[in-house]
Structure 1
Amino acid sequence: MTPITDTLRLALVQLNPTMGDLLGNAAKLRDARARATVEGADLMVTSELFICGYPPEDLVLKPAFIRACRKVVEDLAAETADGGPAILIGAPWMVGDELHNVVCLLDEGKVQAVRSKVDLPNYGPFDEKRVFQSGPLPGPIDFRGVRLGVPICEDTWSDEVCECLAETGAEILIVPNGSPYWADRVEERIQVEVARVVETGLPLVYVNQMGGQDELIFDGASFALEADRTLSIQLPQFEEAVATFTWKREGETWKCVDGTRVATPGLAEAQWRACVMGLRDYVTKNGFPGVILGLSGGIDSAICAAMAVDALGADKVRCVMLPYRYTASESLEDAEACARALGVAYDVVPIEPAVAGMETALKPMFEGLTPDVAEENIQARTRGVILMALSNKFGPMVVTTGNKSEMSVGYATLYGDMNGGFNPIKDIYKTEVFKLAAWRNTNRPADALGPDGEVIPVRIITKPPSAELRPDQTDQDSLPPYDELDDILECLVEREMGVSEIAARGHDEALVNRIQNLLYVAEYKRRQAPPGVKVTSRNFGRDRRYPITNRFRDKR
């Protein structure tokens, strides 16, 4: 084949793989290759570990899985004998007797080259050192007369690998990534990659995974930087894309001559779309026919219902109001109005008979004791049992609706409102829940399946939040105002600030100590909570892993 020396048609393949669906992922890649062939691509670039999905966690410790991955990659390699585009594909791969995270070049019917990831991340949501071995510093891959440097994801978050590639003759850096989303992540990635371009003097192409994988969201937003740091390509965020661009050699430098840039959404839209995509992929990839949730007339269940409809369509969402004697008439009205605005199936199942039965069973043991949180939690647990029964009978997954503020301080009932399979707002503080609800009432993302206009009645957003487990209850009976609570929590959770530092921001020190204690003692609840979308830099579970048994308190 005649070497290409001055022009390279490069296809960026930003797809949504399903973990472990090797044949399905290969089929998606074949479809993309057919498109790239029509567009005249020379080389396709996929995301990190595309063939199996990222992150595979301990799945890669299963020898049969590794063998299956290799077989699918080799089958794809054989298909490149047709003279069409070559493929850079990520896969778990045995190198000798070590398991590596690699990128393979598939061309002319063979696996022509393999490059291993050097810098294995082991922080936050990443624990690659648990399953992979680090590879040696790589040299470039010679592809049809072009020397490609292929650092893998974390390899570009420090300078060593890219500098090695530049020093050994790389002409362009191509970076397969599995970079999860959290707020302002796009700008953070670009700044990191700009540093590599400055250090090496080389242009850089960044291809990221798209889609939800358990709690993690991969937002795509692939891009390219010229050698002068100019952003020449920006693919869409939260959307699959296959796009081919022309790179030409101009003197000693490669330049993209036909790049396009798609605007990425603002923060509110990005947070909303991340939550929606996470819920959609969790439900569909795990084979649930739809979802069911308790619609209380409050803000949390309303926003989860709206997200569910945007994710799956109204025909796959069922909402149930579960009233008790403390349920206000306006809550009944608001829940019905929300269900009507969203166009979902809506049922009302009073819980009074079930609660009465439980109280009767417990009466001999509770005799003479003052009613307290035990009786309140019977209500929440009764609702949880009913929702799970409906899930068992009809098949939809129960959506859990607690926000990050509640999960932080334990303002939730185990085996009650914490029941369910997945929580789209688990990593969203209450103050942001209000903002996102108001945003959705005046905005509808292009990929949303829900209706335009007001989908969450305004009264749900403006009325004081309440669990309605006792007469005239509001959240502020037990908690400080949410703007104050959320600032304290963000300082404790995201920033790991000390009590005195937080008090210096204007908070009462006794209150900060109280919130710190609530945060620590609720750890056992969070360990039993369903998974949920990660949208902050430090979520519960993957990022923040505290011991349940813990007597430390930061007191001066």
Structure 2
Amino acid sequence: MKSDFFSLYSHDFVRVACCVPRTRVADAPYNLAETLKLAAAGDKARTAVMVFPELGLSSYAIEDLLLQDALLDEVEDSVAKVVEASKTLFPVLIVGAPLRLAGRLYNTAIVIHRGKILGVVPKTYLPNYREFYEKRHFVSGANVIRQEVEIAGHTVPFGTEFLFEAKGIDLTFHVEICEDIWVPVPPSSHAALAGAELLVNLSASNITIGKAEARQLLCGSQSMRAIAAYAYSAAGPGESTTDLAWDGQAAIYEVGDLLAESSRFEKDSTIVQADVDVGRIRQERLRNNGFADCALQERERVACFKRIAFSFDAPTESVALDRLVERFPYVPSDPAKLRDNCYEAYNIQVQGLAQRFKSSGVQNAVIGVSGGLDSTHALIVTCRAMDMLGLDRKNVKAFTLPGFGTSDKTYANAWRLMKALGVTADEIDIKPAAKQMLADIGHSFAKGEKLYDVTFENVQAGLRTDYLFRLANQHRGLVVGTGDLSELGLGWCTYGVGDHMSHYNPNGSVSKTLIQHLIRFVAASGDVDQETAVILHDILNTEISPELIPADAGGVIQSTEQFVGPYALQDFNLYYLTRLGYRPSKIAFLAWNAWHDVERGAWPANLPEGTKRAFALEEIRRWLELFLRRFFSNQFKRSALPNGPKISSGGSLSPRGDWRAPSDGSPDVWLAELKESVPER
């Protein structure tokens, strides 16, 4: 059992900080004091890597003062004091300073940890256009004639092609400086191909109108293209304003996502930090074979990097994760992003189904309507596809097929919905046929016993599918599937029947948690009238149930979530297992951070208050174990899925697409890791 389960450093996370110290022009002692103040704050927060601005110890905008021996001597003395102070500090400190070497002056980043200088990286690309005039003072890092430099009593590596490898917290990072990110091929691009997971940039970029957005675009796109984290720290208050101004922008990105950004134009020193998921970066690189192919194409350049390894043990105490973990990976909490996602998902479904009708030459659809979420949305999509093709909605042959467990509410809603949407509506009572089949196979129910076993359930499910496929033959139509991604992940579908098999399934890669928001989106979009919108909201407020077993004496109906677990948790587990391949302990750690406190983090819009609940670690562990058992044992169902469009970057379970796995896979390795690494509470 891991005693540090609750520590971010046990789960491939690394805390990174970007610092913007207040400076004074050419006042190295003052700048040193501000640097050390922020370093102490980072140490208290157990930050692993702290990035400071370009030339932060001297100030950037000091022009020819950069060539003054008195200042350069003082800067070197400040470096020595940072090294000395670092002996008792946890973080790696990356500070900027002008350094002399062999009759040249370099603009450098100095990497310091635990009383040692690990290496010095000079700036490669020196801007010498518009307001910039760096070649007047500095020499490019491409013009290095010595591979070592003596500084603060240390002889240390000097060059542009270093990868710093932390052993203990397991992180590889690369350093570049300001202009290096503005060129067509930044040095960090090759560093990422060589293995750097964190790319840091010490900058002193001055601010002009619109430049902050340009920096965001550069850093965010570099982190996405390089499949890496990118930490950027720019000079802020105190720099010379003779001809320029400074906003102190600092930001941290991870594979294109903005994790944290500083407030700009602050008057005092500031620090912004984020917990970077290095495990995500590694997983994305494993999946993206173009990344490895690009490294092969650039192998000569990549081979030039020298690895500087150093010991960096994780803190002995637990360090809580300081990062927003979305409770619903398929449903963003940001309302604008959720609307955009629903718009795209809905239209992908409609376009996919319309194309299938068009290419097959078939003009009729056959669909079973239960009054539940999945069939409701599939029916809406089918109607919209008919509209897109210019066909009458009467071409949609919709059937409700009540069985032994069908409730009055869902039965009524199925009829209300079919009538409101203007489809051809009909009903087939499957109970007589089900009784006959149960009698034919000698089931006890036919003899008067209340045996509600899996055979009793699947006789009904199978009959519904038999009717729908034969109706499709009769009407020369396509059976539209209704089963969703969550059911497929849990194996909560009967092999070969309606929630598993169809001619085309627009819902196949839509999670249960997302499908609810898609219905809300349609209800509010204007695609349906007010009467239909009311019906949709009534369906949304119905408990999720297969309705295959009659309600008990108290009227309590069969509950899906009591059997397979809360869809909120199981969708979470599905996403992180299939999309990112995380080990169960990390999934549980993320789930605990997302769900253990109902007040922590944002919720998606329009969620009913009753659904906003917390989950203890004990529940998370129990439902994750169930998920793993069901997920692996039901792969054979996913190996035989009908066609349907991929909806989300979260992936699908199509055997022809995102998830290709053996039907005989065992969950034992995953269950053992869960048992060994996740405490019971």
From the superposition, tell whether residues 370 and 531 of structure 1 become closer, same or farther in structure 2 (CA, over 3 Å).
same
Secondary structure of 1:311 counterpart: helix
Displacement of 1:283 in angstroms is 1.7
Secondary structure of 2:510 counterpart: coil
Displacement of 1:293 in angstroms is 0.5
Does the aligned pair in 1 maintain the 2:512–2:567 contact within 8 Å?
yes
Alpha-carbon displacement from aligned partner over 1:477-500 (angstroms, at most 9, x marks no partner): 312221122111111121211111
Name the residue aligned to 1:487: 572
- Give the TM-score normalised by the residue count of structure 2: 0.42
Name the residue aligned to 1:415: 496
Max Rg structure:
2
Secondary structure of 2:648 counterpart: coil
* 1:394 counterpart (464, 475, 483): 475
Matches within 5 A, 1:189-338: 191=221, 266-313=340-387, 314-338=393-417
Q: Share of identical aligned residues, percent?
A: 24
1:405 pairs with 2:479: no
Stretch of structure 1 that moved more, 476-485 or 297-306: 476-485
AA of the residue aligned to 1:312: M
* 1:532 counterpart (640, 644, 647): 644
AA of the residue aligned to 1:284: K
- Give the TM-score normalised by the residue count of structure 1: 0.51
Does the aligned pair in 2 maintain the 1:342–1:451 contact within 8 Å?
no
* 1:354 counterpart (407, 415, 433): 433
Secondary structure of 1:363 counterpart: coil
CA RMSD of aligned residues (A): 3.1
Does the aligned pair in 1 maintain the 2:444–2:451 contact within 8 Å?
no
Name the residue aligned to 2:295: none
Secondary structure of 2:664 counterpart: coil
From the superposition, tell whether residues 274 and 444 of structure 1 become closer, same or farther in structure 2 (CA, over 3 Å).
farther
From the superposition, tell whether residues 488 and 432 of structure 1 become closer, same or farther in structure 2 (CA, over 3 Å).
same
Does the aligned pair in 1 maintain the 2:485–2:507 contact within 8 Å?
yes
For 2:355 and 2:523, the matched residues in 1 are separated by 23
Displacement of 1:347 in angstroms is 0.2
* 1:499 counterpart (584, 603, 608): 584
For 2:354 and 2:443, the matched residues in 1 are separated by 46
Displacement of 1:510 in angstroms is 3.0
Secondary structure of 2:436 counterpart: helix
Aligned positions, number? 302
From the superposition, tell whether residues 473 and 490 of structure 1 become closer, same or farther in structure 2 (CA, over 3 Å).
same
Name the residue aligned to 2:621: 509
Does the aligned pair in 2 maintain the 1:324–1:350 contact within 8 Å?
yes
Question: Runs in 1 of length 4+ with deviation above 4 angstroms?
Answer: 190-196, 364-371, 450-453
For 1:415 and 1:194, the matched residues in 2 are separated by 41
AA of the residue aligned to 2:357: V
Name the residue aligned to 2:549: 470
For 2:458 and 2:222, the matched residues in 1 are separated by 48
Matches within 5 A, 1:3-14: none
For 1:424 and 1:476, the matched residues in 2 are separated by 23
Secondary structure of 1:291 counterpart: strand
From the superposition, tell whether residues 310 and 483 of structure 1 become closer, same or farther in structure 2 (CA, over 3 Å).
same
Does the aligned pair in 2 maintain the 1:337–1:457 contact within 8 Å?
no
Secondary structure of 2:564 counterpart: coil
Does the aligned pair in 1 maintain the 2:339–2:521 contact within 8 Å?
no
Secondary structure of 1:318 counterpart: strand
For 2:488 and 2:646, the matched residues in 1 are separated by 14
Displacement of 1:370 in angstroms is 5.0
* 2:666 counterpart (546, 551, 554): 551
AA of the residue aligned to 1:287: G
* 2:532 counterpart (423, 446, 454): 454
Displacement of 1:415 in angstroms is 2.3
Alpha-carbon displacement from aligned partner over 1:262-310 (angstroms, at most 9, x marks no partner): xx98221111111111111112112111211000011110100001101
Displacement of 1:322 in angstroms is 0.3
For structure 2, list consecutive stretches of 5 or more residues without a partner in the other structure.
1-188, 191-216, 227-337, 388-392, 551-556, 593-616, 674-681
Does the aligned pair in 2 maintain the 1:492–1:516 contact within 8 Å?
no
Stretch of structure 1 that moved more, 323-332 or 358-367: 358-367
Does the aligned pair in 1 maintain the 2:633–2:666 contact within 8 Å?
no
From the superposition, tell whether residues 192 and 393 of structure 1 become closer, same or farther in structure 2 (CA, over 3 Å).
farther
Displacement of 1:551 in angstroms is 1.9
